[in-house]
Structures are given as C-alpha cells and as structure tokens.
Copies of this chain bind each other. A is one copy, B any other.
Amino acid sequence: MAGNTFGTLFKLTTFGESHGEAIGGIIDGCPAGLKIDYNAITAEMQRRKPGQSAIVTQRKEPDTVAFYSGIFEGTTTGTPIGFIIKNTNQKSKDYTHIKDTYRPSHADYTYDKKYGIRDYRGGGRSSARETACRVVAGAIAKQLIKEINITAYVSSVGTLELDKHYSELNFSEIENNLVRTADTSMAKQMEAYIKEIRKEGNTVGGTITCVIQNMPTGLGEPVFDKLHAQLGKAMLSINAVKGFEYGSGFAGTKMKGSEHNDLFNENGSTKTNLSGGVQGGISNGEDIYCNIAFKPVATIMQKQQTITKDGELTTMQGKGRHDPCVVPRAVPIVEAMAALVIADFWLLNKLSKL
C-alpha cells in the first residue's frame, strides 16, 4: 500500500534512507530448496555499486550484504529472507545548504508536501541508494528462474545511439566496457562523451534495452496484470526513468496491421516478433525486449536558481560525487527488476491450470 513492496508471490519489501545507518529488505515467498550462489549476488552488487569505474560517481560504498534469515546451510528454507546493507558513506557533514532549499528536479519539494517532514541528508528514501536492495533480491530471483536469460545493456547515451537490433549484438561485450553497451566502438564514443559531460559539471540521459530470452509460454496474467504492464511498472519505478516501450513500441504506432502482425511458423514461433514476446499480456515463448528511458541526473555542478522552504528565490550548486550519466550503473538494476517480475509470474503460472 505504502509503496515499499514489489511483487505478489515473490515479494520484496525494502526500507532505508541514503544517510541512515543501513538499508535492507525482506524477500518473502521464495520457495524452499533453492541453493544460493552468494558469489553471483556479490557480482551483481559490484555492477551497481558506486566508485566502480572512471565514468560513475566516485563515492565509495562497499555494499556488503548480510543475510539474517531464510537461508540455512546455503539453501532457502521457505521462510522470509531478511538482509541488511550498512551505509558506510554517511559522514556527518554539513547539510545546511540543502536542509531548507529544494534541489530542482529532485524529490525534496514533493516529500515535504506529502509528509511535512524530510530526512534532508541527501536524497533520503528517494535516493537511488535504495536500488541496492532491488539488486540483492533480483540476484536471488535470477537464480530461481535460472533457465531464463535476462540481459540489459546501454543502447544510447544522449544522442549517441546503438542502431542495431539486439539480435545483431554480441552480449558478451557488455561487461567489457565501462558504459555497459554491446558494441566496442560505440562504447568508446559513449565513454568519451560521458567524461566530457562530467568536465562540464553537467549530466546526460540515455536508454537501456533489456532482453529476456529462453522464456517459457504462459507467464503473465491477463487484463490488469499483463506481463508487459507489470514489467513497465517495474522499470518506471526505477529512479530517473521517464518511459518504457516493448516490442515495436512507439515505432509500432506508425505501422499498419499487415506489417505489424507476427505470422506464425509451424512450431508456434513467429516470423517477426514485433509483439516483443507477449500476446494479450501472456508470454508466447519468443524473446521479450524493451527500452527504458532515463533522464539526465538532476544534480549538476552548475549554479541553478531555486527556492527555499519559505518560497524565497536563491541559487544552489551540486556538491560532492555524482554520476554524470546514470545508465551504466542502472543496467544491473533493470535486470533485477526484470528478474523480480518474471520470477513472480513464473510462480503464479504454476497455478494457472489443473
């Protein structure tokens, strides 16, 4: 209800502010008997964590996760998995400049309006720090649905766009470049551009493409909880996301039915998959693919006009260490959210028929 739970059967509930003592969560509904690969969880955390490369924020957080329950001798027991990640970077610094001033395009103003009180030390609950918990849960979800492959990569940074279809790309290149795109030459251009943007004290947006392969048929619930509707919600719930499209997406609106319809092959697969692997909200076994739009990070190292809590005009300038472009670090978050959605529907689908 209050918005801190995701999923219905494989359920993640999270807590924590960016500058509190710890963040954490509870995964409820993971079936018993799943052998947990801790290294795989750590690897996902490493991909998301700050300070990992020259083009992301230089803030340092070790992001070590402690599991407190639900796993016994390395195997899930069916009871809730509670976990904690300590915040090690919340130094007691001077927050006076943001205590009473609203940062443009941040959530300071809206939290104050909604709750009448706000943890003003950084972004509080609205900080992307919260997504670390999603990555933990997503890493476990991936292990639950291990036969399904979820791959995300950066498909654009500003106006630099990968113009190839995902099937033409080599996914093994993604982790070989700092940007996490699937094309080495584009990676270099993007990397250079992000460094330039940082030098300006500016930020830039981008897009991530997510591909889900080796999908079983039947996942997703018709009407309100269509597979792509829940996937869209999952992606739109990530900080800075402004849009979601799957299959033919916005480009599909310009097509005719005769061009857009996916004709069947004899085995039930389709010739074109403009549908993006989902028909009527239910997976048809083809690849699911979608694009997610990220706006430029709001914190810039340039002076901007804003107002104080009392409505007086003032100026402020970002301080500290921030990402010049959010998409490289958002890649594992996108994958985590996809894994949570698919794991949930995968469980639910076991109950579809007698």
- Residues of chain B within 8 A (CB-CB) of A281 are 3, 107, 110, 126, 237
Contact B77 A117 (CB under 8 A): yes
B70:A15 contact, CB within 8 angstroms:
yes
- For residue A124, which residues in chain B have a CB less than 8 angstroms away from its CB? 77, 79
Q: Of B77, B221, B248, which is within 8 A of A295 by CB?
A: B248
Which of A51-59, A166-174, A178-186, A296-304 is the interface stretch?
Answer: A296-304
A158: CB under 8 A from chain B? yes
Contact B252 A242 (CB under 8 A): yes
Which residues of A221-259 are within 8 A (CB) of B? 221-226, 228-230, 232-234, 236-237, 239, 242-250, 252-259
A295 — which chain B residues lie within 8 A by C-beta? 247-248, 252-253, 255, 260, 274
Asked if A1 contacts B9 (CB within 8 A), the reply is yes
Given A13-B26, A117-B33, A228 contacting B236 (CB threshold 8 A):
yes
A115 touches B78 (CB 8 A): yes
**Count class of interface residues, chain A:** 35 or more
Contact with B along A275-292 (1 / 0, CB 8 A): 110111111110000010
A68-B105 in contact (CB<8A): no
User: Closest 7 CB pairs between A and B?
Assistant: A107-B280, A3-B221, A243-B245, A15-B82, A3-B225, A203-B257, A233-B233
Protomer copies: 4
The yes or no answer to A204 lying at the interface (CB within 8 A) is: yes
A301-330 interface mask toward B, CB cutoff 8 Å, 1 = contact, 0 = none?
010111100011100000000000000000
Q: In the complex, A237→B244 CA distance in Å?
A: 13
Q: Does A31 contact B (CB under 8 A)?
A: yes
Instruction: Fill in one digit per residue for A60-86: 1 if any B CB lies within 8 Å of its CB, else 0.
Output: 000000101110100111111110100
Q: How far is the CB of A217 from chain B (nearest CB, A)?
A: 4
Q: Are B4 and A68 in contact (CB under 8 A)?
A: no
CB within 8 Å of B: which A1-49 residues: 1-6, 8-9, 11, 13-17, 20-26, 28-29, 31-34
Contacts of A117 in B (CB 8 A): 32-33, 72, 75-78, 353
- Give, as a whole number of angstroms, the nearest-CB distance from A2 to chain B: 4
| Contact B244–A232 (Cβ < 8 Å) | yes
Could you give 28 example pairs across A and B, Cβ below 8 Å?
A1-B348, A3-B281, A4-B222, A9-B351, A20-B69, A22-B82, A23-B69, A26-B26, A33-B116, A77-B115, A77-B118, A78-B352, A79-B119, A105-B257, A105-B261, A109-B268, A111-B282, A203-B257, A204-B255, A237-B281, A242-B253, A247-B295, A252-B293, A253-B295, A261-B300, A261-B304, A263-B304, A265-B307
Chain B CB within 8 A of A267 CB: yes
**A274: chain B residues within 8 A (beta carbon):** 105, 295
- In the bound complex, residues from chain B placing their C-beta under 8 Å from that of A82 are 15-16, 22-24
Contacts of A307 in B (CB 8 A): 264-266, 268
Instruction: Among A243, A247, A296, A297, find the residue whose CB has the most chain B CB atoms closer than 10 A.
Output: A243
Residue from the list B11, B33, B249, B250 in contact with A353, Cβ < 8 A: B33
Q: Is the CB of A254 within 8 A of B158?
A: yes
Q: How far is the CA of A274 from the CA of B298 in the complex (A)?
A: 12
> Does A206 interact with chain B (Cβ within 8 Å)?
yes
Task: Kindly list chain B residues whose C-beta atoms are within 8 Å of the C-beta of A200.
Answer: 256
In the assembled complex, how far is the CB of residue A331 from the closest CB belonging to chain B, in whole angstroms?
15
